[in-house]
Amino acid sequence: MANAKVALCRTRFRQSWLRYSGPLLCAAGVAMLGAAAHAQTATPQDIDSLRKAIREQARELRAQAQRLNQQLRLLDAQQRQIQQLQARLPRGRTAGAAARAAPPPAAATAGEAPAAAVSGPPQGQAAAQAAPIQSPTPEAVERSRNQLTLQTSPSLANTGGVLTPRGALVVQPTFQYDYYAQNQAVVNGFTIVPGITFGNVNLNKLTQDVYTMGLRVRLGITDRLEVNAYIPYIVTNSTTTTSPETPGAAPLNVNATGHDIGDIQLGASYQVNAGTGGWPVFVLNLQFKTITGTSPFDVPIYTTADPNGAFLQGLPKRLPTGTGFYTLTPSVTVLYPTDPGVLFLNVKGIYNIPRTVAVQNPSGGAPTSTSLAPGNGFGVAFGIGFSLNDRTSLSLGYEQDFYLAATQNGQSIGGSSYRQGSFNFGLGYRLDATQGINLGASIGVGPNSPGAEIVLQYSKRFDVY
């Protein structure tokens, strides 16, 4: 299509050349014939004047030829630029998709924009035969760069901000590693004055590695609505070292492992506005987490009947891969492009649906049916992303979550409220118009956060309709 357009422009310039150079050549020829016919009667001054006029016309013709060559070179450069811009945009939003049913620019998403049709007015039979091409606007290229930037943010990995274009299916295999380290002091006794305790004091050190192989799938229903699903498989292991401060008690090391499917997540994102007129882009999100993973209430635990049960009671013999509770997470994402970066903000609420579960007895008795509700919470994440070039981008951000106290049979459990935070860094590289790789890293803030988290993700887009 682009080659046809350039060929059409070449034809128009050649027609212009013939239109303007023809009369000049005819005038030069007539002048020369007139000079030959009247050579015997003309004076030397007349001959010099004719020669001067011919030289002026020849210079004008050469100047027109140079201008024509410059215009042709400019057309070649513009053709290469159009091809480069089309290669940067996803294939589903180039000429074919826009010619199929391109929505108005107001319906563009934060990461994509419809390509604008560019076609010249008909001129002759060549123009009638040449089909119009689709050329990406500067705004479309900028939105595509913003999309690449936002994909690198670990804070936006599970929420909106990077919507999938209509008819596109994005498949994202993901590998995630989390490392936890925590020290605890458990006192079974009583204190009469500060610093003097009667009873058993257990000093516990917990280290845990969690490996998650996941598959995330995103489908663009419209240019403003996306649905997604995430299926994780978790392999985890932990080591608990307990050092009871009693005479003759040696440190105990307890290892536990677990591997099973995790809690599947389903979600949707909807872009509220187009972000024109200096306004930021607002995206509404809703995530629902299931309980497909192994519940903490279904794994066996150490009881007082086990060896060293007095110090190990309550510790799991096998690790869970899920939380055991359904969770709804509504959120809103705010995006504000500001060259050369994109500012983002995500505010979310966390609602854990209460359930009646069988809580195991550390003493070895029968489980107790209890109505439990993990603490609800809210969180905020913010940061900025930078596009280094058309292939590479990075992002920096911070995320903080607050959780209220959990309840048991309607009564608050003391000391169960907590906070967790993390500093996030992301790096992305676009392999081509449909493939990309993102690498994210997080450093935990506080004892309840993972000490370190690494996420590696590969993205591949397919056009399904």
Query: DSSP assignment of 14-37, as one string?
Result: HHHHHHHHHHHHHHHHHHHHHHHH
CB 460 within 8 A of CB 435: yes
Q: Domain locations in the chain?
A: 2-88, 142-463
DSSP string, 178-239: EEEEEEEEEEEEEEEETTEEEEEEEEEEEEEEEEEEEEEEEEESSSSEEEEEEEEEEEEEEE
Question: Superfamily for 142-463?
Answer: monomeric porin ompg (2.40.160.40)
- Residue 74 has φ and ψ, to the nearest 5°, of -65, -40
- Residue 297 has φ and ψ, to the nearest 5°, of -85, -5
**Given this model, what pLDDT does residue 162 score?**
72
Q: 79: which 2 tokens? A: 């053709």
**Given this model, what pLDDT does residue 92 score?**
45
> What does the alpha-carbon distance between residue 70 and residue 445 come to, in Å, rounded to a whole number?
61
End-to-end CA distance of the chain: 22
Question: DSSP letter at 103?
Answer: P
Distance of CA 275 to CAs 11, 227, 281, Å? Answer: 41, 21, 5
**Given this model, what pLDDT does residue 245 score?**
59
**Given this model, what pLDDT does residue 133 score?**
46
Task: Using CA atoms of 357, 358, 363, 366 in order, give the dihedral in degrees to the nearest 10.
Answer: 160
Q: 369: which 2 tokens? A: 């049916």
CB 349 within 8 A of CB 378: yes
Predicted TM-score of the model (pTM)? 0.67
- pLDDT less than 70: residues of the chain: 1-42, 84, 86-148, 159-161, 184-203, 244-249
H helical segments located in 42-137: 44-88, 95-101, 124-129
**Given this model, what pLDDT does residue 304 score?**
83
∠ Cα 324 156 176 (to 5°): 60
**Given this model, what pLDDT does residue 203 score?**
63
DSSP H or E segment with residue 9? helix 2-37
Q: 434: which 2 tokens? A: 């449909």
CB 265 within 8 A of CB 241: no
Distance of CA 386 to CAs 63, 129, 148, 274, Å? Answer: 47, 44, 9, 21
DSSP string, 245-297: -STTPPPEEEEEEEEEE---EEEEEEE-----TTPPEEEEEEEEE---SPPTT
∠ Cα 218 222 227 (to 5°): 30
> What does the alpha-carbon distance between residue 340 and residue 386 come to, in Å, rounded to a whole number?
6
